[in-house]
Chain A
Amino acid sequence: MNDMSRVEKQVDTKDIKLDCRDCQVYYGDTHAIKDVSVDIEDKTVTAFIGPSGCGKSTFLRCLNRMNDTIDIARVEGSFKLDGEDIYDKRVDPVQLRAKVGMVFQKPNPFPKSIYDNVAYGPRIHGLAKNKAELDEIVEKSLRRGAIWDEVKDRLDAPGTGLSGGQQQRLCIARAVATEPEVLLMDEPCSALDPIATAQVEELIDELRSRYSVVIVTHSMQQAARVSQKTAFFYLGNLVEFGETGQIFTNPEDPRTESYITGRIG
């Protein structure tokens, strides 16, 4: 498969951006994440794979404290972004989410214009002093989201009127508009057709030059195509974490091998 060629690329050792140690997540009485420790490197795409309900999305949502919005969820362990504990009492999740952006499974543009969708984040964080600066941020973000050429003539059109793939790229543009350092993507392509998926994957590879990207995916081929590091979750445990090439060609754990070869999951 030529898909694997990208994986073969030399992976540099980079700074650790997010250092997660001994993480536990409980939903009420259910122990959803058990003893997970992962190092997420800067300027790297890290993929979380695993069968449905294995906790990969839950873990992803811990990284920008989106689980705070779920009443019954309880998170333990240490999550350090550049050495600072993101679950510290002094940390405001709002500030954290500006640094750790998120793209969701279902494209969820606001029912507003394309321009307002992208400008919303910079507006509430006060990133632009005037209209000209805001225009600039919007254009830059839409270019990074690889959707500028398609929408530049209709920035006032509603974001919900775009196609699924365009909506998802708009959501990515919206997420990068606040200049995050880490970009979390929760199955960003599961609602998209193969062509839109290819566009988004290409985009993820480009985003790697500026951000640390964490992507949750059901598709092992996608993980192999876009990521440098892969973590395999199974039943709330982190089974194996390592270089993507290693995981897909020579997994250490028999469960990883079973999943990759299609015997479980």
Chain B
Amino acid sequence: MTDASMQNAEPGRHSVSLMATDEHTRKRARAEKRFRAYGIVAIATGLFFLVVLFTSILKEGIPAFTRTVVSVDFTLTEQQREESEGVLLKTKAYSDLFITALKSKLDERGLNTEVDEVAIERLLGKVGGTIRTFYTQNPDKIGEQIEFDLAASSRVDGYFKGRVSRDTIQDSRFLQKSDLELVDALEEAGIIKQAFNWPFITGADSGVDNPGGAGIGASVIGSFFMMLVVLGLSLPIGVAASIYLEEFAPRNRFTDLIEVNISNLAAVPSIVFGILGLAVFIQFMHLPQSAPLVGGLVLTLMTLPTIIISTRASLKAVPPSIRDAALGVGASKMQAVFHHVLPLAAPGILTGTIIGLAQALGETAPLLLIGMVGFVARGYPDGFLAGFTEPNSAMPAQIYTWAARADAGFYEKAWGGIIILLMFLLTMNIIAIILRRRFERRW
């Protein structure tokens, strides 16, 4: 052995003090420091943009959660109802009745008695329809005094939220400079006030000229039914496919081809799935247009590769010794997989599924092609099964629709919708993390 030679210093070897670092070591230390600095800069940049994103979303979106309401006591008599129903423009008739009531109220209080009906009409949103719907649904309320909280028109709402000011306002049929005096007076009288915008969270989309009445609730329901379809189809199909490919399928050229294709499918642009869904599900299979069922089917196609890839990864991560152990005591392959491998892979599968669902929840492009955009969500579906087939929108599609509309009130709604969508996504991700923590087992 070389024990003897170790004792004597080898010839040609300089004795170097450990106290002084040599040039080579310094160079490496500098490189390491630089690399750390890059990393910190990268993270800081990421965080900065995240903060910018969140502040801008919150700043633009928070106003969507408050609304300006005109609160008026109103009584509809049976005779008035009959007269209104008798004319051609029914909602206009109701609207006129309401404006008259409001005006008389103003007169009582001695406020701006010179304002005309047209000015009041400009302050209110589309009140006639709301009132008529209320009395159609609650005919027993006719004759009673009801306090209506009606959404003010978009411009008035904008005046309260700072979108519209005396300097920027231009006289138009929507709102005139002189109207703002009336608005201020009404606010003092407590007739116009700010309130939490429940209809935004629970309501359905409104027409293009009525941003005050627009709500995201119906499209939340649409998204919910789509997610049910996606979960119900992609989880069993995806998990079954992954188990077969990972545990049972022979390794040959054909399965290699399938593997490559699944990886490629995960990278296919979502709009391609949309046009596929349009061609197959709607034009060929004649499933209802704009239905969450079709949306769910399209999103299932999109989510499957994600679920298959993550499921296979988590199956692969289960140590082979567990399979050996099960086979060694005489378990069949299927028993080994279902009794031992699958429970160990479950946290990974669940996480992958939830991430896939979250991705599907935020997907807009394929929904454009199957008609889930535009003014489709008129209200809640009638019952559970109808939820799958009745035309509806989905959250991201609804946001897209609002963002595309002209009225600034809708722009604000779009940001508010984004906040709600992000809340759902955040919740799903938190659930994924909790599930992973909860079911993770060490061995």
Contact = CB atoms under 8 A, between A and B. Distances in A.
A125 B335 CA distance: 11
Interface string B308-340: 000000000001011111111111110100011
A66 B330 contact: no
A125 B330 contact: yes
A151 B250 CA distance: 41
Contacts of A102: 324, 328
Interface in A101-154: 101-104, 106, 108-111, 120-121, 124-125
B251 A66 contact: no
A107 to B, nearest CB: 9
A69 B323 contact: yes
Contact of B441 (A71, A94, A111, A120): A111
15 contacts: A66-B327, A66-B328, A69-B323, A69-B327, A69-B333, A94-B332, A97-B328, A101-B328, A103-B328, A108-B324, A110-B326, A111-B344, A111-B441, A124-B329, A175-B328
A171 interface: yes
B329 A120 contact: yes
Contact of A66 (B322, B324, B340, B441): B324
B321 A94 contact: no
Nearest to A68: B327
Interface in A53-107: 64, 66, 69, 71, 94-95, 97-98, 101-104, 106
Contacts of A110: 322, 325-326, 340
> Counting chain A CB atoms within 10 Å of each CB, which of B322, B327, B339 scores highest?
B327
Interface of B: 250-251, 319, 321-333, 335, 339-340, 344, 441-443
B325 A94 contact: no
Nearest to B333: A69
A97 B327 contact: yes
A175 B329 contact: yes
B325 A109 contact: yes
B321 A104 contact: yes
A160 B442 CA distance: 8
A119 to B, nearest CB: 10
B250 A71 contact: yes
B298 to A, nearest CB: 36
Interface of A: 64, 66, 69, 71, 94-95, 97-98, 101-104, 106, 108-111, 120-121, 124-125, 160, 171, 174-175, 177-178
Contacts of B324: 66, 69, 102, 104, 108
A160 B322 CA distance: 12
A55 B196 CA distance: 76
Contacts of A174: 325, 329
B330 A108 contact: no
A104 B331 contact: no
A178 B329 contact: yes
Contacts of A120: 326, 329, 331, 339
A95 to B, nearest CB: 7
Instruction: State the 7 A-B residue pairs at the shortest beta-carbon distance, nearest first.
Output: A98-B330, A121-B329, A108-B321, A102-B328, A97-B330, A108-B325, A111-B443
A227 to B, nearest CB: 21
A91 B329 CA distance: 16
A97 B329 CA distance: 6
A76 to B, nearest CB: 20
Contact of A177 (B251, B323, B329): B329
Contacts of A104: 321, 324-325, 328
A3 to B, nearest CB: 29
A94 B340 contact: no
B327 A124 contact: no
Contacts of B442: 111, 160
